[in-house]
Amino acid sequence: MTVIEEERTLIPDEAVLAAAVPQPTGPPSTAERVAELAALREQVLRGPSAKATDAQHAKGKLTARERLELLFDEGTFTEIEGLRRHRATGFGLEDRRPHTDGVITGWGLVDGRRVFAYAHDFRVFGGALGEAHAQKIHKVMDLAESTGAPIVGLCDGAGARIQEGVTALAGYGGIFQRNVRSSGVIPQISVMLGPCAGGAAYSPALTDFVFMVRDTSQMFITGPDVVKAVTGEEITQNGLGGADVHAAVTGVAAFAHQDEAECFEDVRHLLSLLPSNNREVPPAEPTGDPVDRRAEELYDLVPADPGRAYDMRAVLTAIADDGDWFEVHERWAPNVLCALTRLGGQVVGVVANQPASLAGVLDIQASEKAARFVQMCDAFNIPLVTLVDVPGFLPGVDQEHGGVIRHGAKLLYAYCNATVPRVQVILRKAYGGAYIVMDSRSIGADVSLAWPTNEIAVMGAEGAANVVFRRQIAASPDPERTRAELIESYRDELMHPYYAAERGLVDDVIDPADTRARLIGALEMLRAKHAPLPSRKHGNQPQ
């Protein structure tokens, strides 16, 4: 071997040199980035940890994503801002920046119609609201309003994120402002699936409907510990603000359910009865129930004796399409019944006195319940049917001192302000101011019908006779006989079934069996009703 050949063997090959020296690799390829994205999305979908998921299930609660699967048609949910993370610092937050920031937002389809939603994820910061969390909710609320679609809030959070201070509180302010701006524009539904304390409780209170689940959801401004410290009263979370309390006592919750699956089934059903926004009418649904079906069972369901009780639900079952209806606030103020149903395939709202509870009188709570329902129906173009069997307003010191005048005026205001088609049916008694308030012709009912058992008067014949004829009764040698004769005379002269019809205050006296057909006919005639309101910013309704 020559010297030159020996030297060449000592010079490394270029390929070997290139392998030995690190070379620039360049940016990741698109395929690598896509794989990275897929891995990140998978991590986001799994949530913080299996342990956190198990803890949620151990409480008898579903995760946020499992709830969204129950709400939406399968495979239709589209998430937005799923990769959002907070930017707060201090108190260790800079080291804890999970994706979603504790709330999942987006849209999907419910029975083929678009609905927006946000769902608190209790596994992340206990669902507490911070700046980024709030901005995600603001975004989805703005989208719902601008596109004219309902929004559903799945609430399971611990309130404002304490570590973010006033920024978190400002986030709630933005939610409240949007709740009010969207009120009467798009349906807003709150589904309470966990704790909701302090100022956070005001957002559900501003929405149209509140659903709660027994044992797992609670709402209160101050919790049991604060109540005990301030007042000395000891009470559990459920006793203070559980589902049954808000469904039967406070009226905050329109619906209370045993479990989440049952709850979401009713949320979906309610959405099927509501329009997407205030510019649309509720979706019609074909029915095989004949429009002209006679309901002769009403002859026996409703006693002719005005003093005998019966269940108004049976009347509604007899006239509704296929006997199906959806009651709102079933357990609160049960002396008035409010329900959504269909007549001839078209959605209507029904307000009815309930003789099976307090004889169907109107009181403070019944007035508030019915007023709220009437306003909701009017806002979303749902015609109103009012079934009347009312002995008057409930007398008593508690009612007067509680402001029955002010609260009763809410119902009067709601009816007078409503521009949707309005049909009244008087089944039996309709006395005093309660007759006027229950959508009488004098306050704007478009059509008023009455059964031949109707009694419309200032008060019942017995009370009227005792006032009008008290001197004659007192001077009679047989007061009881005289009273009975005068009562009958008063009833025959001023309370016979055709008295109001003769004076144009009732459009027709009808066969009860024809109630369904007559209601459908009247509502069909009124479908194109247009009733413009005077130019004003807004009215000043009673509070």
Select from 396, 313, 404, 303 the least CA-distant residue to 363. Answer: 404
C-alpha 47/C-alpha 56 separation (Å) is 12
* Beta carbons within 8 Å of 392's beta carbon, 6+ residues apart: 361, 362, 431, 432, 433, 434, 459
- With beta carbons less than 8 A apart as the criterion, state whether 196 and 223 touch: no
> Counting beta carbons within 10 angstroms of the beta carbon of residue 502, is it exposed (0 to 12), middle (13 to 18) or buried (19 or more)?
exposed
Spot the catalytic one: 82, 165, 174, 198: 198
Residue 34: helix, strand or coil by DSSP?
Answer: helix
- What gap in Å lies between CA 194 and CA 264, rounded to an integer? 14
Q: Which of 299, 275, 317 is closest to 187 using CA atoms? A: 275
DSSP 397-422: HHHHHTTHHHHHHHHHHHHHH--S-E
Q: What is the spatial distance between Cα 291 and Cα 164, in angstroms, rounded to a whole number?
A: 59
| Residue of 82, 174, 199, 345 with catalytic role | 199
Q: Is 460 marked active-site? A: no
Selecting among 379, 434, 461, 522, the annotated active-site residue is: 434
Judge contact between 282 and 381, C-beta under 8 A: yes
Reading the block at residue 61, the tokens are 């609660």
CB atoms within 10 A of CB 329: 26
Q: How far apart are alpha carbons 501 and 454 in whole angstroms?
A: 11
**Is 433 labeled as catalytic in the residue annotation?**
yes
For residue 209, the 8-state DSSP code is E
Of residues 126, 148, 433, 463, which has the active-site annotation? 433
Strands (E) across 305-361 are located at 325-328, 336-343, 346-353
Active site residue 198: yes
Residue 241 designated active-site: no
Nearest to 246 by CA among 273, 271, 209, 274: 209
In 3D space, the residue among 154, 161, 116, 108 whose CA is nearest the CA of residue 134 turns out to be 161
**CB 287, CB 436: distance < 8 Å:** no
Q: Helix 312-319 vs helix 515-525: angle between axes, to the nearest 10 degrees?
A: 70
456 contacts 499 by C-beta, under 8 angstroms: yes
Place of tokens 């008063």: 490
CA-nearest of 183, 522, 496 to 383 is 522
* Cα gap 439→441, rounded to integer Å: 7
Radius of gyration of the chain (CA): 32
Torsion of CA 479, 481, 487, 492, to 10 degrees: -150
Q: Which residue numbers are catalytic?
A: 198-199, 433-434
